[in-house]
Amino acid sequence: MARRHKPNTPPAKQRFSGAESHKTKTPPPVTKKQFTAGERSALYARREAANVLRSVLRGDAERRAVASIKSLVFSPSVRNKRATFALVCETLKHLSVIKDVLEIANVLNSKWKRQEPLVYIICYDILFGKDTPSIGDAEKFLMRRKDALLSGLATLLVRKKVKSVEQLLGVSQLNGHIKPRYARVNTLKMDVDSAVQELEKHYTVQKDETVPDLLVLPPGSDLHAHQLVANGRIFLQGKASSMVAAALQPEAGWEVLDACSAPGNKTIHLAALMEGQGKIIACELNEERVKRLEQTIKLSGASNIEVCHGDFLGLNPKDSSFAKVRAILLDPSCSGSGTITDRLDHLLPSHASDNMNYDTMRLHKLAGFQKKALAHALSFPQVERVVYSTCSIHQIENEDVVSSVLSLASSLGFKLATPFPQWQRRGLPVFSGSEHLLRMDPVEDKEGFFIALFVKTNKLDNQKSFELPERRECGQRRNERTMQLHPYLGPKMFRAWSNMLHRRRSRLALSTSLED
């Protein structure tokens, strides 16, 4: 608040003496407090964020969104884009909590109820932000009621039977989108059991049933400042993202190409699965994303990754540089429609899976690129396995892309294989073989994802080399049945013997037909 400067008052006995008593004294002007550049910037950011939030909430209420949050924030009219985007996203993330606190505190009059978006933004700063708002009429009004707001938050924690704001956010998600915190152990630096032991000092930790090096923690567990994250021993990576490299199953000593690798979480997962051996070519076109990729690699400690700053579609499959590449991971740009929970769309009041509208032209453009990229990946001559994945729920980006390359894949010796056979949700039944595809549901699995695995047909005979544990057991049982049919011959000998009998029968049948 601005300080009031009082004029110097002369002593009482001198106040009306002499000629001074006939002069009118003018007090010195009150000096206005000069706000800092940071305070002004924060004030403007809160107003710009409130305008964006007003448009978002109004469009959501009317089911006629004028634009996405990013489009609104990054419009030319918004000056402080970074601060505005952060405020809008964080306020939406905490919106249900803020509304509950305001209802409990009951501090708003009719004037400020008409400016709810601005009130939400300021309340976020007061309750959860790092900077305490100090200027602006709305800020001053709410700061005078800060104690009531904090008391309301404490009351809400008690009502919800939780101990922290992080836990409160975990149970305040709309439509049941309570997503666990996943953390993948970087086995290049630490083993899984040691990571569990360290994390269990502060959290409840479980091992994921699908991905061996993935840990599951309660929703709202904040690990961003944890020492294991800071030193690259664990990475905060979602389950779906962690399943991609595991589906490819690269072997130690292989050469692998990650076609669209930034920000690099899947790339370094490949390195860990390969035990730091062999070579990974990490391809990325965008220069800024290359920097992020290099930072991720450095943090992981992986030494077998070579960054290729360029367009994957521009790589020549016949170039000698790629002559030893045996597996390709292709996770191209997509609509991101399966990650609506992380993008905060699910926090909007009207959110429902059947309300989502996507730009049809953009989807077709993305699908066109995805088809080219997948066909290109299959054309590398020495490649034995290709994984294609997206974080999309749309058929046009998933099953339709796979279907479009099936003829090409077959001509090059590839067939669809089944990643994670124990996983229940499979591809949409739009073509024969779609049961091999893997889908994750945005409601049941908390995110939408898609994985397709192509394997060279001459490698399909070698079950042990590529299939996951369940499939290996099936192969073992098949060999046991072979031994039961002919106990004196091993599996390979039995197949050779069977083929020889088949050829003899064929020649006999042919000679018989010629005699007839």
Instruction: Please give the Cα distance from 238 to 181 (Å, whole number).
Output: 8
Q: What six digits make up the tokens of 504?
A: 């003899």
Amino acid at 164: S
Question: Do 427 and 398 contact (CB within 8 A), yes or no?
Answer: yes
What are the residues whose beta carbons fall under 8 Å from the beta carbon of 390, sequence distance 6 or more? 331, 332, 334, 338, 370, 397, 398, 449, 450
Buried residues in 436-474 as b, exposed as e (16+ CB within 10 A): bbbbbebeebbbbbbbbbbbbeebeeebeebbbeebeee
Phi, psi at 488, each rounded to 5°: -95, 0
Beta strand 305-309 with 181-185 is unpaired
Q: What six digits make up the tokens of 440?
A: 């994750």
If DSSP codes are grouped into helix, strand and coil, which group holds residue 122? helix
Strands (DSSP E) found in 433-485? 438-440, 449-456
What residue numbers does the annotated binding site for S-adenosyl-L-methionine cover? Answer: 260-266, 284, 311, 331
Phi, psi at 120, each rounded to 5°: -60, -45
In terms of phi and psi (left: phi > 0; alpha: psi -120 to 50; beta: otherwise), the region of 173 is beta
Given 89, 334, 391, 474, the catalytic residue: 391
Catalytic residue at 391? Answer: yes
Give the Cβ contact number of residue 390 at 10 Å. Answer: 28
Question: Do 366 and 413 contact (CB within 8 A), yes or no?
Answer: no
> Which amino acids are annotated catalytic?
391
